[in-house]
Amino acid sequence: MCGITACAGSTPALPFLMQGLEKLEYRGYDSAGVTLVSGQGLTTVKAKGRLATLAASMEGGRWPQTTGIGHTRWATHGVPSNLNSHPHVNETETIAIVHNGIIENHRPIREFLEDAGYHFHSETDSEVIVHMLDYYYRGDMLEAVRKTVRYLDGSFALCAVCTDFPDTVYTARKDSPMVLGQTEQASLCASDIPALLAYTRDIVAMEDRQIAVLKPDGIRLYDFDGKPVQPVWLHVDYDVQAAQKGGFDTFMEKEMHEQPYVLSETLRGRIFQEDVNMPELDFLDMHDMKAVYFIACGTAWHAGLYAQYLFRKWIPVPCFCIPASEFRYGDYPLGPDTLCLFISQSGETADTLAALKEAKKAGAPCVSVTNVLGSSLARQSDAALYTCAGPEIAVASTKAYTTQLVLLAAIVLKLADLYGALVPDRRRLVQDLARMPRVAQDMLEAVPDGISHGAEALKDRHDAYFIGRQLDYVSVLEGALKLKEISYIHADAYYAGELKHGPIALIEEGTVVIALATQPEVAAKTISNIQETMARGADVTLITGQSQNAEGFQDVIRIPDVHPYLAVIPVTILLQRLAFEAAEKRGCDVDKPRNLAKSVTVE
């Protein structure tokens, strides 16, 4: 989850390191640090807290070194502190490293190194790496890296520098992302693309079990056995301006307002009248499939639940949506007759990649839905389908989620076509899918009074309850997650019909309830469930369709008249706004909520 930058160049390295860390601060922000290297030694500066603290501590200094590594940390082992922050250095201060990931066998390695006379100064798993490099270093730094990574279990993207080679950065990757770039003045690397965009839009996404050697005049790539590998260059279409706030106060608000555009980009070329254009899936024979799995984490899992609902409505094949963190341990039947669809904004989510490996090992056809060209998930899948959300910087997902929803709706329509299944009311569904960008624009242009009232009601509350049935349950799961992520209000989501089986005991005078009733076949029953909470004093905000009778409700928000299976799009935008306004009223940092990071690259 941490952010990494590194530079080996002919001009000062610090400007690249710091601007890159700023672009990656969404990946981790409890401490930051840099190491600059020259033939005279290492200069390491670290600071607990946000990147601004590090920048302030370095302001006014002279930093001419042309090679260096940088890091922003999201704590996994050891509390946030100067000692636990990266970079870590060996005892003679000749080698320094930064690391993203988790070294699962760090304890036995630590014990071995302590027996060999090494002393540790942090609580982190990462510090074993720098001491192992020192242990194996005999004048050949590349060989020391090769020997070290051979003994590391778990996930890692790491960069190392050594005073004996002051113009060189060594980097290695296993199950954690790392991208490389090249300019006329320097070789660069980072844990995510935005860090490179101000310098180059041509990148190399390192594969698993690869080592790169960065020098000012070029990049050499090897596998873990030391065999040279030919780099594969990719061109990134978006530029650095796409990752700026664009006049908004926060990235989250900017990204919410980008949804009409990115929804249209995601659907562009996919919808023609009633047909879905998705040749990437033509290799599948759906009649051979005995089961279909949608696999994801967090918000992407909610998108998978949406896809599961549509799939079960239209296609008579068993279908399951399973959190990736559970999938690899669940003994689910896998084989060539089980289609696995993996969903991840970054394409680097550790649990999702681990599940993908299990599926591939069993010979299952694997399809990925991701936002990042060249991501690990996309490269390792049999087919990759891309959302076109562009860079999403705010930790809480907004536009990445809604683009997943529309793309998954199109994917399930395509799978129904491949199966030969009849989709009821297909014409209206596809037409409404095509107009989702306009619907999103309408939802953003006029924020209903009920949202502002709901946010005000939440300002001083510690709890909120979201209820809905059928597809509305998917929406309340995401709405509750968004609220708790950025406002720190305890928020639970329940099936409306399950309230009387326990949760209604939590309802008392003034309890905030966000209720959804957008699905016509169950809306009346949901309304009855909501009235049960009102009878016990709940402060209810109801979100429903245009024609639903809502007599007796004070705060009613009506979404546009869309196919019920697409109501999740406007509802999601409303609930994003509710969470955003509640968080702002409570004085929370919506872009960088505590304890969270954007790309979860550890299990």
- Residue 22 above 50 pLDDT? yes
- Residue 78 above 80 pLDDT? no
What are residue 146's phi and psi, to 5 degrees? -60, -45
What is the 3-state secondary structure of 529-568? HHHHHHCCCCEEEEEECCCCCCCCCCEEEECCCCCHHHCH
The CATH number of 246-444 is 3.40.50.10490
pLDDT above 70 coverage of the chain, percent: 94
Q: Which is more confident, 447 or 378?
A: 378
pLDDT of residue 373: 77
Q: How many residues belong to the chain?
A: 603
Identical fold for domains 3-242 and 246-444, yes or no, is no
pLDDT tens, residue by residue, 295-349: 999 999 999 999 999 999 999 999 999 999 999 888 899 999 999 999 999 898 8
Q: Which of 113, 119, 122, 98 is nearest to 42 (CA)?
A: 98
pLDDT of residue 206: 93
Q: Which one-letter DSSP state was computed for residue 331?
A: T
pLDDT tens, residue by residue, 366-390: 999 998 877 889 999 999 999 988 8
Residues 6+ apart with CB under 8 A from 59: none
- Residue 404 above 70 pLDDT? yes
Please state at what angle helix 426-434 crosses helix 436-445, rounded to 10 degrees. Answer: 50
- Residue 49 above 90 pLDDT? no
Alpha-carbon distance of 27 to 24, in angstroms, equals 6
Residue burial 443-481, b: 16+ Cβ < 10 Å; e: rest: bbeebbebbebbbebbeebeebbbbbbbbbbbbbbbbbb
Strands 210-215 and 218-223: antiparallel
- Rounded to an integer, the average pLDDT of 210-225 is 96
Q: Which is more confident, 296 or 512?
A: 296
Q: Which one-letter DSSP state was computed for residue 242?
A: G
Domain locations along the chain: 3-242, 246-444, 446-585
Q: Does 598 participate in catalysis according to the annotation?
A: yes
What are residue 493's phi and psi, to 5 degrees? -115, 135
Strands 202-205 and 233-235: antiparallel
Alpha-carbon distance of 278 to 434, in angstroms, equals 15
Alpha-carbon distance of 238 to 561, in angstroms, equals 34
- Rounded to an integer, the average pLDDT of 246-264 is 88
pLDDT above 90 coverage of the chain, percent: 63
Dihedral of the CA atoms 403, 409, 414, 417 (nearest 10)? -170
Alpha-carbon distance of 512 to 578, in angstroms, equals 12
- Residue 119 above 70 pLDDT? yes
pLDDT tens, residue by residue, 417-436: 999 999 999 999 999 999 99
User: For residue 179, what are the β-bridge partners?
Assistant: 190, 205
- Rounded to an integer, the average pLDDT of 206-234 is 95
- Count CA atoms closer than 13 A to 537's CA, side-chain side: 7
Please state at what angle helix 14-23 crosses helix 51-58, rounded to 10 degrees. Answer: 160
| Candidates 48, 254, 592, 598; catalytic one | 598
Give the mean pLDDT of the chain. 89
Strands 41-48 and 31-38: antiparallel
Cα angle vertex 551, ends 545, 557, to 5°?
35
Which residue type is seen at 188? Answer: L
pLDDT of residue 82: 62
pLDDT tens, residue by residue, 467-480: 999 999 999 999 99
Could you count the other beta carbons within 10 Å of the beta carbon of residue 401? 28
pLDDT of residue 29: 61
pLDDT of residue 602: 46
User: For residue 34, what are the β-bridge partners?
Assistant: 45, 70
Q: Which of 43, 90, 87 is nearest to 64 (CA)?
A: 43
- Rounded to an integer, the average pLDDT of 267-278 is 87
Instruction: Categorize the per-residue pLDDT at 165 as very low, low, confident or very high, splitting at 50, 70 and 90.
Output: very high
In DSSP notation, 283-309 reads T--GGG-SEEEEEE-HHHHHHHHHHHH
Secondary structure of residue 330 in the 3-state scheme: coil
CB 592 within 8 A of CB 395: yes
| Candidates 2, 7, 162, 319; catalytic one | 2
Residues 6+ apart with CB under 8 A from 198: 19, 240
Q: Which one-letter DSSP state was computed for residue 11?
A: S
Instruction: Categorize the per-residue pLDDT at 111 as very low, low, confident or very high, splitting at 50, 70 and 90.
Output: very high
- Residue 244 above 70 pLDDT? no
- Is the CATH number of domain 446-585 3.40.50.10490? yes
Instruction: Categorize the per-residue pLDDT at 601 as very low, low, confident or very high, splitting at 50, 70 and 90.
Output: very low
- Residue 80 above 80 pLDDT? no
pLDDT of residue 424: 94
Query: At which residue do the structure tokens 């309304």 appear?
Result: 527
- Count CA atoms closer than 13 A to 387's CA, side-chain side: 32
The CATH number of 3-242 is 3.60.20.10
Tokens coding 554? 């004070």
pLDDT of residue 592: 83
pLDDT tens, residue by residue, 540-592: 889 998 888 877 777 888 999 999 999 999 999 999 999 999 999 999 989 88
